[in-house]
Amino acid sequence: MRLVLLGAPGAGKGTQADLIRRELDLAHIASGDLLRDAQSKGSELGLLAKSYMEKGQLVPDETVAGLILERIAEPDCDKGFILDGFPRNVDQAEVLRSALGGKNMIIDNVIYIKVSESELLSRLSGRWICQECQAPYHEVTSRPRIEGKCDKCGGKLYQRADDTVETVKKRLEVYLSQTMPLVEYYRENGQLVEVDGEQSIQGVSEELLRVLKGNGST
């Protein structure tokens, strides 16, 4: 089984990818990890990717697709894989389709963990971190006992720049503008599996596995 996993920041994509990996015995291929690993191994494509990244440039879609093809040729991908972080837009999806087609492969399902923008803002913008021990807190789901102080060490809590409401809104705007056309692209191709990401973690997991194991409908 070959899968693509889509979901905005805060949708719980990483948690669900790990569960699918374990339950279905699939390799989890996260594009960010893939790029770092390829660089450390010093492969030809890895060094090429590194040359772009050192200049502060985006790694070309064809290079990332090439790295993915290298990765899925490894033995642990024989039973299938989950792609996480690529493609991010329709152009990348076309590059991926062409690259896999050259190996007589197709993507079986594209899982889209759907979460409303208001819920994503709530999840992402309420995070606070302890300055001393880096313990995480959240205004909604895990508040400290004393406002502004860490329960563990008493350190002062602070909010990272990328966790403010304004920054999170901008991140989501960019993500949604790129991803919604991609969601429709896969929907039109009959590959999309849409899951309600506002359920509990267990609820999302159960729905995903029910569909992927063929006990539900898409």
Residues designated as active site = 13, 88, 127, 160, 171
How do beta strands 136-138 and 127-130 pair? antiparallel
Listing DSSP states for the chain in one string gives -EEEEE--TTS-HHHHHHHHHHHHT-EEEEHHHHHHHHHHHT-HHHHHHHHHHHTTPPPPHHHHHHHHHHHHTSGGGTT-EEEES---SHHHHHHHHHHHHTTT----EEEEEE--HHHHHHHHHTEEEETTT--EEETTTB--SSTTB-TTT-PBEE--GGGSHHHHHHHHHHHHHHHHHHHHHHHHTT-EEEEETTS-HHHHHHHHHHHHTTSS--
175 Cα distance to chain centroid:
11
Question: Distance between CA atoms of 73 and 185, rounded to whole angstroms?
Answer: 26
Question: Distance between CA atoms of 150 and 135, rounded to whole angstroms?
Answer: 7
